[in-house]
Amino acid sequence: MLSVAGIDVFYGNLRVVKEVTFEVKTNRTVTILGVNGAGKTTIINTISGFLKPAKGAIKYNDRMIQSLKPYQIVKSGIVQISQNRDLFPELNVRDNLELGAVIEKDDNKISNAFEEVFKHFPRLEERQNQRAGSLSGGEQQMLAIARALMSGPELLMMDEPCAGLAPILVKEIMGIIEGLKKSNKTILLVETRAHLALSIANYYYVLQNGEIVAQGDTTDLPEEKEEFLRNLIKAVTFK
């Protein structure tokens, strides 16, 4: 589905992503692990079209997409959920969800998208007339995920979806992601906390200083996954 081949990304003269290569196969969950500042968000922002690689290629469903604009990336079937959620706090839940379907012009499809989202997130249906800014942190993260689903993406990219949440809410959000995985949604999950990501992902990549330094199938990891990766690359944080 998605193939990233040898991309370099710069901020000014600073090379922050260095010849990164990885792939995400259909109906699989892939995680990129690394500490803050390793380049994880830069990579998904580049896939989303917000940044342009200085070299390398990004192919999605056999189409080169590295030169496309962000709205074209969304239309192609890739949607990103940022770490900041980027909700419109003064708008209510339903309005925020409608903005997730802004590229869809068919009212019937939008109506069906609402029905599908409310099946996954009944709490949001109960609060659809409530201001997004008045929701709890966990509910806001649910809304961010639900809004992304409104466009019917084939590939969902999540940037640290549990950042800043209390442990009980982390468990709830990870349960939602697990449910999306079981429904055969293709997911690229960016995380600093390996124990969360490895509990869900089929395949992992470890990013250090903008470079992929390790990768593998999670089924091949020993029982003590965190200890294994801690010894493999000391720079990765395990919380």
Domain that holds residue 213: 1-77+188-239
Q: Does the structure show a pLDDT above 60 at 234?
A: no
Report d(CA 112, CA 127) in Å as an integer. 18
Q: Residue 14 falls within a domain, yes or no?
A: yes
Q: Residue 238 falls within a domain, yes or no?
A: yes
Report d(CA 99, CA 148) in Å as an integer. 9
Instruction: Read off φ and ψ for residue 84, nearest 5 degrees.
Output: -85, -5
- What mean pLDDT, rounded, does the chain reach? 89
Res 65: pLDDT: 96
Q: Residue 171 falls within a domain, yes or no?
A: no
Work out the pLDDT band at 173, boundaries 50, 70, 90: confident
CATH number at residue 192: 3.40.50.300
What are the tens digits of pLDDT across the range 134-159? 998 889 998 999 999 998 899 999 99
More confident: 9 or 199: 9
Give the lowest-confidence range in 23-37, 53-67, 159-173.
159-173
Res 230: pLDDT: 61
Q: Residue 65 falls within a domain, yes or no?
A: yes
Q: Does the structure show a pLDDT above 80 at 225?
A: no
Res 36: pLDDT: 86
Q: Residue 2 falls within a domain, yes or no?
A: yes
Number of Cβ within 10 Å of residue 214's Cβ equals: 14
Instruction: Read off φ and ψ for residue 175, nearest 5 degrees.
Output: -65, -40
Cα 210 from chain centroid (whole Å) = 18
Q: Residue 95 falls within a domain, yes or no?
A: no
pTM of the model: 0.87
Q: Residue 143 falls within a domain, yes or no?
A: no
Q: Residue 87 falls within a domain, yes or no?
A: no
Where do runs of H (alpha helix) occur along the chain? Answer: 40-47, 70-76, 93-100, 107-120, 122-126, 137-149, 167-182, 194-197, 225-232
What are the tens digits of pLDDT across the range 27-42? 999 999 988 888 999 9
User: Contact at 8 Å (CB) between 96 and 88?
Assistant: yes
How many domains does one find in the chain? 1
Looking at residue 184, the DSSP 8-state letter turns out to be T
Q: Does the structure show a pLDDT above 50 at 67?
A: yes
User: Contact at 8 Å (CB) between 30 and 24?
Assistant: yes
